[in-house]
Amino acid sequence: MSTVLHAKERKELRHSALRKIRENGNIPAIIYGAKVESKPVFISSADLTKTIRTVGRNGVISLDVDGSKHDVVLTDYQEDFIKNEIIHVDFLAVDKSSKINVEVRLVLVGDAAGVKDGGVLQQPVHQLSITSTPDNIPPQIEVDITNLQVGETVLVGDIPSAGAFTINHEDEEVVASILPPRQEEEINAGEQQEEGHPDNEEGRETTPVEGE
């Protein structure tokens, strides 16, 4: 069952109105979607925090806009890093039976055996694009690297999804690797590597996915 979050429509859109909303402990937001007319709303900051704690960052929320309910997921938010507070959020209205594309955090868990042997852990990918029905979006994707040795890599194709979602990356894309200490020193010393072989280049966030 979805957690209900109450919202009110924003009728006054001037900058001064936004400031007033935030001063009253609320957050300006927008709800949008294929079957929903985009609508500016605002929600209680405390209620949003409580809701995310309950359903997770990628969970389905029942957004009650002045009595009209929509199933939504939180797709994006803007943060004021100085005040450490959220200042705007985007809600995507979803149909629970329809698949959507979302970005999910990739988390490496465990202490890699290769790191204990002096190797250096590299994680070139921190988020994965997946396709899933809203109810099957995981809070995060975890990869156990406990047994990863020096010189070994974990590829996208190694990540189990149990059929609940599809990962929109090439199976060969590296998500974690353990470099030998010497190789790490060479990279830090200005990347004195042979040119023309970018196959295993570090730091690539995403790989373009060609249409299948």
Q: Considering the chain, what is the average pLDDT of its residues?
A: 84
pLDDT for residue 39:
93
Return the percentage of the chain with pLDDT > 70, whole number. Answer: 84
What is the CATH code for 3-95?
A: 2.40.240.10
Residue 129, Cα to own-chain centre: how many angstroms?
8
Q: CATH 2.170.120.20 in the chain, residues? A: 101-200
Q: Which residue has the higher pLDDT, 182 or 72?
A: 72
Residues 58, 59, 62: CA angle, nearest 5 degrees: 130
- The band of 82, judged by pLDDT with boundaries at 50, 70 and 90, is confident
Whether residue 90 contacts residue 63, with contact meaning beta carbons closer than 8 Å, is answered with no
Cβ partners under 8 Å of residue 71, min gap 6:
2, 60, 61, 62, 63, 93, 94, 95, 96, 134
Whether residue 147 contacts residue 115, with contact meaning beta carbons closer than 8 Å, is answered with no
Residue 117 per-residue DSSP state = T
Q: Which residue has the higher pLDDT, 142 or 82?
A: 142
Does the domain at 101-200 match CATH 2.170.120.20? Answer given as yes
Task: Tokens 């629970």: give the residue.
Answer: 96
109: burial class by Cβ within 10 Å (0-12, 13-18, 19+)?
exposed
Over the stretch 87-141, which tens digit does the pLDDT of each residue have? 899 999 998 888 988 889 999 999 999 999 999 999 999 999 999 998 888 889 9
- pLDDT > 90? residue 11: no
- The band of 86, judged by pLDDT with boundaries at 50, 70 and 90, is confident
Q: CATH 2.40.240.10 in the chain, residues? A: 3-95
101: burial class by Cβ within 10 Å (0-12, 13-18, 19+)?
exposed
Task: Tokens 């929109």: give the residue.
Answer: 168
- pLDDT > 50? residue 212: no
